[in-house]
Amino acid sequence: MSGGHGGKKPLGRWFAELAALLLVLGLLFTAKRFAPHAAGDAGIVGAVGILLLAGTLMSELLSVFKLPHLTGYIGAGLLVGPYVFHLIDEETVERLSPVNTLALALIAFAGGAELKIEILKKVVRSLSTAMVLQTTIVFFGMTGVFYALRGSIGFMHEYAPTAALGVALLWAVIAVSRSPSATLGVLAQTRAKGPLTSFCVAFVMASDIVVVVLLATVMSIARPLIEPGGTFSASALRVLGHDLLGTVSVGTSLGLILALYLRFVGKQLLVVLVALGFGATEVIHYLGFEPLLAFLVAGAVVQNLSKQGDVFLHAIEETSGVIYVVFFASAGAHLKLPLLAELWPIALTLAGSRALITFVTAKLSSRVAKDEPVIAKWAWASLVSQAGLTLGIAGVIGREFPALGPAMGALAIATVAVNEIVGPILFKLALDRTGESQSTAALHDDEEAATAVAGTT
């Protein structure tokens, strides 16, 4: 994805991009009318083209308002998806899942490669304090909020108070999760560097591991509360330990293999990354481990145990541009507007409560850790986004508690939709205000140069 713009966009170019977007949508809408039953591989190729064109144009159009490209991609997907212009139907959106698989793999690789030990050492105090407080306070805070709102949540009416507490605990795990994809998507656009960027990347990536452990623990605790006759089982925690150890081992091995390949071969990296995104994901799934965590570990190993980290990151950036556009545009097409219209009051309340608790906790954490001002003021902004990881957690809860599945999943989708739209905007605003985004830094340099020239004339 392209970096940010160094200055204001000319008005003529803005209107040209608006006209181009409207023209593309009009042509695609007309084509859909004449070929309404396009399906199969042709339909998939057409859907990718639609998402890519509309997403790119929309992101450029919205950049005049300093919105992140992700907002444009998601908005374009929403427009061309099943609920507005109907250019892509639900079945085709579902068939784009292989693109999502590749995108998530690249996001995990990049996230791990961003975890440099020398940077982590600088933020270890802030990171550990924030991780403990954010996990604990958001978890118990959202448990209380969900339990207090149970009378306003339709599917909760059938649960007794004890069972409702179990459901609230499960919802709190969903609330604790963050969005690595949104975080890295914004960073891919802004090319941000600085203390806030380092802290946010480290926190969001490390929180993945915390959420996985928390999910298994809470499911074991919630089961006897929700299901009559259910009992707490320590075996689930033993299985979790085995899976985590296995996932880290697989990720470490994969990282070492990648480092050796980059060192002694270093060719056809695009093919290698695509093969890993698809093939390795299936193999790791088959072994019963978590692919995203394995890829995260692999990226960290390449970065910290070899000299190939920068080469690896550059290869991912070259590969991920088009993939990211389609991934986030597809996420926009997935947003179910009828569901959001039905559940928006409770979804907005839950999302707003989570954002408020996150904000207050971030301020408390920074005071305890004595963070530098930039982190104390803006660290919370990267913690609002939610996306695929959160929906994945909701899916796991649905499989483990089938009676909860559809209703809990619907509420999760509606709440994630709010955080998916608002979160990236807040994070980019923080990066721009702190001067860490590349576009802001470039603009600042231009202003300093202009001032210097003026002073000599």
The verdict on residue 115 lying in a domain is yes
91 lies in the same domain as 217:
no
Calculate the alpha carbon distances from 322 to 56, 226, 409 in Å.
Answer: 9, 44, 29
- Mean pLDDT of the 253-268 span: 92
- Decide if pLDDT at 377 tops 60: yes
52 lies in the same domain as 182:
no
pLDDT of residue 2: 40
83 lies in the same domain as 121:
no
131 lies in the same domain as 92:
no
- Mean pLDDT of the 326-344 span: 81
Residue type at 304 in one-letter notation: N
145 lies in the same domain as 251:
yes
pLDDT class of 189 with cuts at 50, 70, 90 = confident
Q: Range of 73's domain?
A: 11-97
* Gap between the Cα atoms of 447 and 441, Å rounded: 10
26 lies in the same domain as 115:
no
Q: Residue 268: which CATH number?
A: 1.20.1530.20
pLDDT class of 451 with cuts at 50, 70, 90 = very low
Tens-digit pLDDT profile for residues 3-52? 444 445 566 777 776 787 777 777 767 766 666 655 555 567 777 878 88
- Decide if pLDDT at 452 tops 70: no
DSSP calls for 128-193? HHHHHHHHHHHHHHHHHHHHHTGGGSGGGGGS-HHHHHHHHHHHHHHHH---HHHHHHHHHHH---
pLDDT of residue 63: 80
292 lies in the same domain as 363:
yes
The verdict on residue 320 lying in a domain is yes
Among 281, 219, 207, residue whose Cα is nearest residue 251: 281
More confident residue, 318 or 354: 354
Residue type at 150 in one-letter notation: R
- Mean pLDDT of the 374-402 span: 87
243 lies in the same domain as 357:
yes
pLDDT class of 455 with cuts at 50, 70, 90 = very low
Tens-digit pLDDT profile for residues 128-137? 999 999 999 9
Tens-digit pLDDT profile for residues 190-212? 888 888 998 998 898 888 778 87
346 lies in the same domain as 237:
yes
pLDDT of residue 381: 94
pLDDT of residue 237: 65
pLDDT class of 446 with cuts at 50, 70, 90 = very low
Cα 114 to its chain centre, rounded Å, is 15
Two structure tokens written together for 142? 């959202």
62 lies in the same domain as 91:
yes
The verdict on residue 332 lying in a domain is yes
pLDDT of residue 306: 92
The verdict on residue 231 lying in a domain is yes
* Gap between the Cα atoms of 323 and 453, Å rounded: 42
pLDDT of residue 368: 96
The verdict on residue 408 lying in a domain is yes
- Decide if pLDDT at 77 tops 80: yes
Average per-residue pLDDT in the chain?
83
CB atoms inside a 10 Å sphere around CB 397: 23
Name which of 167-181, 233-247, 314-328, 378-392 the model is least confident about. Answer: 233-247
* Gap between the Cα atoms of 69 and 424, Å rounded: 9
The count of structural domains within the chain is: 2
pLDDT of residue 378: 95
Phi, psi of 193 (to 5 degrees): -140, 140
Tens-digit pLDDT profile for residues 292-317? 788 989 999 999 999 999 899 888 88
149 lies in the same domain as 276:
yes
DSSP for residue 276: I
Answer with the one of 97, 115, 142 that is the final residue of a domain: 97
DSSP for residue 64: G
Residues contacting 283, CB < 8 A, separation 6+: none
- Mean pLDDT of the 134-144 span: 97
Q: At what angle do helices 291-304 and 309-334 cross, to 10 degrees?
A: 150
The verdict on residue 443 lying in a domain is no
132 lies in the same domain as 19:
no
Name which of 159-173, 191-205, 249-263 the model is least confident about. Answer: 191-205
Residues contacting 171, CB < 8 A, separation 6+: 142, 143, 146, 350, 408
* Gap between the Cα atoms of 257 and 438, Å rounded: 33
